Amino acid sequence: MRVMMMGFLALMVSGCESPAEKAEQLVARIVATPADWARPGHKQTVIEAKDELIKLGPAALPAIIDGLGDDNRFVGMWLLEPILASGESAVLPLAAALTDADVDRRRWALFAISGLASKEIDISAALPAIQRCTRDEDSEIRALSLMAISSTKEDRGVPEFISALKDPDAHVRSEAAKWLGIVATVRVPGARLQDDPLPQLSESVIAEIRPKLIAAFSDESAIVRREVVGALSEYGPSVEPTLREAMKDRDAEVRAAALESLACIRSDGAVAELIEGLGDPDIPVRLRSAKWLGMLADPDTLLLSRRRPSPLPTIDPLAFEAAIDSLTTASKDAHAGVRSAASDALKKIGR
C-alpha cells in the first residue's frame, strides 16, 4: 500500500510541474552525457524531447537558452528548432544571451537570431546586442555577428561590415567582404535580384562602401582578396581597374574570381579577358574562363546562374568568334572539367 501511495504521489508531483520545470528536464535529456549520445536509441529520446519543447512554446526558452552553453555542438543543433518555433518571443532572450560569458551560448544565440530573421521575423530589437558582438574577443563570434547583422534588412549594419574589413582575423575580414557583396546583390539599384523585397541601398551608402572594398583588395590574405573581388562585381563598372589588377594576382582563385566579376559587370573587354584566361597555367582560371564564355554566349543559361550580371549584357555575337580557336584548344585540355566547359561553350556559340 505504501509503495502504491508513493507512486500515486509521484504522479501527482509530476503532473504539477511547471512548464519551465518540464523544459529543464527535457533539455537535460538532450544535453545528456557523451556516453548517452553514443548509446543506440538516444537519438529518438532527443527527438521526442525536442518535439515536447516545441509544444511548450516560449515558456521553454530560459531552459533552452541555458542548454546552448553545452560544449557538445549537437546539443545546440537540436535546440535551434524549438527556439525558431518560438518566433518573435525568442528575440529578446537571445539578445540577452549575447552578453553571456559562455562563448558557446553566444555563438548559438547568433545562429538562432539569424535563423529567426530567415523566417521573416523582426530581429531589430536584438541589433544593439549583435553590434556589440562585432567587437567580441572571439573571432568566430565577430564573424557570426556579421551574418546576423546582414539579415536585419537595415542600413545600420553597413558600418560594422566596413569596420570588419580591418579586423585582425582574416576569416572575419573575408566574411565582411562577402556580406558587403551579398547585401549589394539585392539592394544596389538595378541589382540582379530585382524581386527581393529588401529596400535599396542609398547612393551615398554605395559610394561609401565601394572605396573601402577597393582598398581591402590590398589585403595580405588571398581568401580576403577573393571575397573582395567577388563583392566588387556588385558595385558597377567603376571597379574595373581593381578587377583588372586582380587578374594579375599570384593566387589562382583570385584571378578566377576577377574574371567572373568582369563578366558580371559586363566589362567591354570581358570576352577578350576570358579568352586570355583560357591560357592561364592554373586549372581554376581556365575552367571558369571556359564556363563564363559559354554563359555569356547563352542568355538563358545566364539567367539561371546564381551570379549573373544585371541588367543582362548585350554582347555582339561576333565577339565570340575570336574565342573559337582558344576554346577548341581548351576542349583538349589535360583537365576533364576544362575540356567539358570548353566543349559546352563551343556548342552555345554555335560551333
Predicted pLDDT of residue 301: 59
Predicted pLDDT of residue 300: 63
Per-residue pLDDT reduced to its tens digit, 48-82: 999 999 999 999 999 999 999 998 888 999 999 99
Please report which confidence band the pLDDT of residue 144 belongs to, taking 50, 70 and 90 as the band edges. Answer: very high
For residues 5 and 130, which has the higher predicted lDDT (pLDDT)?
Answer: 130
Picking from 288, 175, 291, 303, the residue whose alpha carbon sits closest to that of residue 228 is: 175
Average pLDDT rounded to a whole number, residues 131-136 = 94
Picking from 323, 276, 278, the residue whose alpha carbon sits closest to that of residue 296 is: 323
Residue 149 in this model has a pLDDT that exceeds 60: yes
Please report which confidence band the pLDDT of residue 185 belongs to, taking 50, 70 and 90 as the band edges. Answer: low
Predicted pLDDT of residue 10: 41
pLDDT, mean over the chain: 84
The yes-or-no answer to whether 153-235 and 247-351 have a common fold is yes
Superfamily name and number for 153-235: Leucine-rich Repeat Variant (1.25.10.10)
Average pLDDT rounded to a whole number, residues 189-204 = 52
Average pLDDT rounded to a whole number, residues 205-226 = 93
Predicted pLDDT of residue 280: 94
Predicted pLDDT of residue 226: 96
Residue 311: how many other CB atoms lie within 10 Å: 9
Residue 187 in this model has a pLDDT that exceeds 50: no
Range in 120-124, 182-186, 309-313 the model is least confident about: 309-313
Calculate the alpha carbon distances from 44 to 36, 40, 343 in Å. 12, 9, 50
In the Cβ-directed half-sphere of 240, how many Cα atoms lie within 13 Å? Answer: 12
Q: Tell me, which fold does domain 247-351 have in CATH?
A: Leucine-rich Repeat Variant (1.25.10)
Please report which confidence band the pLDDT of residue 1 belongs to, taking 50, 70 and 90 as the band edges. Answer: very low
The three cell numbers of residue 246 are 586582380
Residue 307 in this model has a pLDDT that exceeds 80: no
**Annotated domain spans of the chain:** 18-140, 153-235, 247-351
Please report which confidence band the pLDDT of residue 349 belongs to, taking 50, 70 and 90 as the band edges. Answer: confident
Please report which confidence band the pLDDT of residue 9 belongs to, taking 50, 70 and 90 as the band edges. Answer: very low
In the Cβ-directed half-sphere of 202, how many Cα atoms lie within 13 Å? Answer: 7
Please report which confidence band the pLDDT of residue 351 belongs to, taking 50, 70 and 90 as the band edges. Answer: low
What φ, ψ does residue 81 adopt, rounded to 5°? -60, -45
Range in 73-77, 148-152, 201-205, 241-245 the model is least confident about: 201-205
Predicted TM-score (pTM) of this structure: 0.79
Predicted pLDDT of residue 303: 46
Picking from 313, 168, 134, 297, the residue whose alpha carbon sits closest to that of residue 233 is: 313
User: By three-state DSSP, how is residue 268 classified?
Assistant: coil
Which amino acid, residue 350? Answer: G
Average pLDDT rounded to a whole number, residues 232-237 = 84
Name residues whose C-beta falls within 8 Å of residue 208's C-beta, 6 or more positions apart in sequence: 158, 162
Predicted pLDDT of residue 290: 94
Predicted pLDDT of residue 32: 82
Residue 166 in this model has a pLDDT that exceeds 50: yes
Predicted pLDDT of residue 341: 93
Looking up cell 530573421 gives 117
Residue 257 in this model has a pLDDT that exceeds 70: yes
**Are the CB atoms for 22 and 55 separated by under 8 Å?**
no
